[in-house]
Amino acid sequence: MAECFEGEFARAVAHIEGSEDPWTALRDILAERGRRNEELGGDDAFIALIVALVLQINLPVTGGSRR
């Protein structure tokens, strides 16, 4: 991951892992980052951030169904 995102990544992981509802925390972080990314014209670094976050954190499995 690009060095410019290392701080953002570390803060996001800490926030998600410390949250009572990590799925909502992840959604909120990605929504905010997506809005900022859109304002900047978009780039592949946002996708890399999403992938890295999902691979790094341990999200609890929910009982929802897949449709």
Q: Are 10 and 52 in contact (CB under 8 A)?
A: no
CA–CA dist 24, 42 (Å, integer): 23
Summarised one tens digit per residue, pLDDT across range 14-42 is 998 899 988 899 889 888 888 877 776 66
Tell me which residue has tokens 């990314």. Answer: 37
How would residue 66 be classed by pLDDT, with cut points 50, 70 and 90? very low
The confidence score (pLDDT) of residue 1 equals: 45
Flag whether 62 is in a domain.
no
pLDDT at 3: 58
45: domain range? 3-56
User: 52 lies in a domain?
Assistant: yes
Q: Is residue 61 part of a domain?
A: no
How many structural domains compose the chain? 1
Q: What is the pLDDT of residue 5?
A: 63
Res 50 pLDDT > 60: yes
pLDDT at 67: 47
